[in-house]
Amino acid sequence: MNESPIIQDLRRIFRGEMRPNEPMSLHTSFRIGGPALALLLPRDVDDLIAATHYAHKSAIPYYVIGAGSKLLVMDEGVDGLVIKMGHNFGSMTFQGQNVTAEAGVRLSALAREAIRRGLGGLEALAGIPGTVGGAVAMNAGAFSQCIGDVLEGVVALNWSGETRLLSRQDLRLGYRTSALQGTYIPPQSVGDGRTDESPPHGPVLICLKAMLRLNPGNPKELAELEEAFLEKRKRRQPLDVPSAGSVFKNPPGLSAGRLIEQAGCKGLTYGGAAVSPTHANFIINKGGATAQDVLHLIREIKRRVFEKSGVDLELEIRVLGESVGLEGSDRRCS
C-alpha cells in the first residue's frame, strides 16, 4: 500500500516510533476509538519539536496524550496526529523533598517511589491510571488530594518549539484544570515568530516534566495511607471493566455521582456502554461499546440531571475526533 505524503514526510524527519492508522482503542482506558492518521511516540524532545513543527507548518491537527485514561476517541478516529508521551519521557529524580518527573512517568509509579523514600503528598493519587503530564494538565486528584497541592512548576514546550519554565502561578491551577488546557498563554510562553493571534494546530503548551515538592513522612505510615485509599477505590469504583474514570466534574459543593444517581441514571445502558451500578459517575464499556454509545449516555445523563436538579454537568473527560454536540438526546436509554 502506498503511504500518504504526510507519512512519507514524517518518516524523513521523525526518529521515534510511528504507527500509521493506529486504532486509538489500543491507547485509551475506555478501549474505544477509531484510527489516528498516525500515532507518534517521540524518542526525545527534539523529536517532539520536529513532529509539532511539521504539523504547524502543514496545518495538520495534532493531539498529545499520556496513558489515555481520560479520553473518549470517536469511532471514525482522529483526522490528525496523536503524539503519545510514553516511556522515552519516563525518568524521575529525587533530591531531598524535591522531585522532577517527566511527562510519561506513571503517576502510580511516582507515588509509590515517593512513599518508599518517605515522601508524602501523593498517596491518594497512587490509584490514578494516568501519567504525570496528563495529571498536571488536568490537575488530577482523588480523595481531596490533587497533584497541584505539591506542584512547584513545569517545563513545557510551546508552539514555537521552545521550552519554557512555568511557575505554579503561571499554571493557574483550578479544579481539574490548568493553563496546559485550552488557549490561555502564560507570560513569556509565546516564542519569537508567533503571537497569541497565531493559533496552533495543537496544544498551546506541552508538559515535558514537572517539579514537585513533597512532604517528609514515615514510609510505613504513608504506605498504609496509600493502601487505605486503594481499598476505597476498589469498593467504590468499577476497576474491573474499561472506563475513563469520572465522566463529569463535581459541581461546586455537590457530587456529580450523587446527582446522576438521584436523576435515575444509575445502571442505564445503551449498546455496549452502561452507567456503572457501582459508581454513577462512571460509564463502563461492557464489551463492544462504541463512542456513540457513550455519547448517547452522556447526553441522557446531562438531560436527566438538568431536569431533576437544574445542574448542567460539565465533562471531565476529553473527546477527540469529530462528534455531534452533547446537548439533548435523540433516543432513550434502557
Closest CA to 79 of 134, 38, 135: 38
Pairing of strands 62-65, 78-84: parallel
Q: Judge contact between 32 and 50, C-beta under 8 A.
A: no
**From the candidates 31, 106, 176, 304, which is the catalytic residue?**
176
* 164 catalytic per annotation: no
Tell me which DSSP letter residue 329 carries. Answer: -
309 is catalytic: no
Pairing of strands 71-73, 92-95: unpaired
Do 105 and 131 meet the contact criterion of CB atoms below 8 Å apart?
Answer: yes
State how far the alpha carbon of 197 is from the alpha carbons of 171, 193, 205, 253, in Å.
20, 11, 15, 37
Instruction: Read off the C-alpha cell for 211.
Output: 517539579
Q: Are 287 and 71 in contact (CB under 8 A)?
A: no
Cell of 47: 523529536
91: Cβ contacts below 8 Å, ≥ 6 apart: 101, 102, 105
The torsion of the CA quartet 34, 40, 41, 46, rounded to 10 degrees, works out to -160
Of the candidates 31, 106, 316, 329, the residue annotated as catalytic is 316
Q: How far is CA 87 from CA 39, 44, 188, 250, in A?
A: 14, 10, 29, 32
How far is the C-alpha of 285 from the C-alpha of 55, rounded, in Å? 33
Residues, the chain: 334
Residue 139 C-alpha cell reads as: 490537575
Is 176 designated active site? Answer: yes
- 25, 69, 160, 246: the catalytic one is 246
Residues identified as active-site: 176, 246, 316
